[in-house]
Amino acid sequence: MKINSILDKALEGGELSAQEGAVLFTARKEDFQRLIVVSDELRQRRVGDRVGYVINRNVNFTNVCVKRCGFCAFSRGHAAGEGYFLPVEEILRRIGEALELGGTEVCIQAGLPPGIDGTFYIELCRTIKKSFPGIHVHAFSPEEVLYGATLSHRSVEDYLKALLDAGLGSMPGTSAEILDDGIRERISPGRISTSNWVRVVRSAHRLGIPTTSTIMYGHVETGLDRARHLALLRTIQQETGKITELVPLSFVAAEAPMTKKSLIAGIQKEAAREDVLRMYAVARLMLNEWIPNIQASWVKQGPSLAQDCLRAGANDFGGTLMNESISTSAGATHGQFLHPSQIRSIIRSAGRTPYQRSTSYGVLRVFESEPDVPEPAWKNEQFGSYHELIASPDYRFRNRGSFVQLH
């Protein structure tokens, strides 16, 4: 298969197979340049020149987890000194602060803490919506939903219905990494299986709960593994139409246990710039018709490379975050928030028009120019950092008996 003929097929609107996607992942030099140009052309045709962002806050309410994924530097054991568990008052305080700063979404994901009641996620969602009815709760990975359902002896469908009743707005399509059990077994033994991930996501979509989708790349997978993963996401989307976006997440190797402890042979040392751009471009070519929104991840790539991704198929810049723990713990050094004005400046420098969006890609405000009255500045101190949190004596998981719990 020639790369040029695959690019022509994509330009004509043809649906690329996983095998064709795998060939595109081999594109180098002039082929690579052509791939990027085609991805930019398809993005322009499909979604135009606007680039979205959302004002959101991440709340990773605990880092204590019963699993030990090889790529995860975030999790701690239940007795670890650095294990924390935010009480509900602190979770609500953080959300209230985000709302005052213009936030429209809270994104909640965490470890899988031992000893919680199975209804914990449902009650947390209900409590948040009771306190802040206007906030969009984007929460709980398929792995967390399965954990909650298992602990409460309910079917996944029943559990999702209860989350929906409690006010869940959408789910992150994380815990996907590469949807191939052989790879999952190598990088994260015990992780949610491919079939269970698909089952949870399909069930959510059937109930009307949208999800994002993700791919974590740049570790042990091949180009064909990536392309098959994209093809599987496309198949789900063709059935349900409830995937809002794809977020490619490059593996952050620095602090990952499987890198530090040399647990796995053949592991790559993070995706290089060209590989990041190739990932975005191939995703655009394979998904363009079905999943039009592809998000650049500034927290993984840094603002500069994330900006380059806007020329390789991406049309979204993600969220402001305010707090970031998972990539930071893995060794990412790009900070924990971007102010909306910084995001808009990056988008404008790429020659595109920024717009603030809702979680579900509704247009809230298009910024043809900067507002006359600038928004107040944000400071790191006001959000508190991940490293302070794990070093602080406050909120220790092993002392959690003193916290006000939801159950």
Residues that bind ligand SF4 (CB under 6 A): 65, 67-69, 72, 74-75, 111-112, 143
* Nearest by Cα to 336 from 83, 82, 59: 59
Strand order in the sheet with 168-170: 56-59, 105-108, 136-139, 168-170
Instruction: Pick the closer one to ligand SF4 by CB: 172 or 319.
Output: 172
Q: How far is the CB of 68 from ligand SF4 (least distance, A)?
A: 6
One-letter amino acid identity for 300?
A: K
- Which residue do the tokens 């159950």 mark? 407
Q: How far is the CB of 56 from ligand SF4 (least distance, A)?
A: 20
Specify which residues 216 forms β-bridges with. Answer: 249
How far apart CA 393 and CA 402 sit, in angstroms, is 13
Q: How far is the CB of 299 from ligand SF4 (least distance, A)?
A: 16
How far apart CA 154 and CA 249 sit, in angstroms, is 31
Q: How far is the CB of 71 from ligand SF4 (least distance, A)?
A: 7
Strand order in the sheet with 50-54: 316-319, 50-54, 353-357, 363-366
Pairing of strands 363-366, 105-108: unpaired
Instruction: Pick the closer one to ligand SF4 by CB: 179 or 291.
Output: 179
How many other CB atoms sit within 10 Å of the CB of residue 255? 15
Instruction: Pick the closer one to ligand SF4 by CB: 91 or 110.
Output: 110
Q: How far is the CB of 188 from ligand SF4 (least distance, A)?
A: 6
Instruction: Pick the closer one to ligand SF4 by CB: 10 or 112.
Output: 112
Instruction: Pick the closer one to ligand SF4 by CB: 142 or 340.
Output: 142
Q: How far is the CB of 112 from ligand SF4 (least distance, A)?
A: 5
Instruction: Pick the closer one to ligand SF4 by CB: 189 or 351.
Output: 189
CB of 39 within 8 A of CB of 47?
A: no
50: Cβ contacts below 8 Å, ≥ 6 apart: 315, 352, 353, 354, 355, 366
Cα four-point dihedral sign 148, 153, 157, 158: negative
Instruction: Pick the closer one to ligand SF4 by CB: 76 or 126.
Output: 76
Q: How far is the CB of 391 from ligand SF4 (least distance, A)?
A: 19
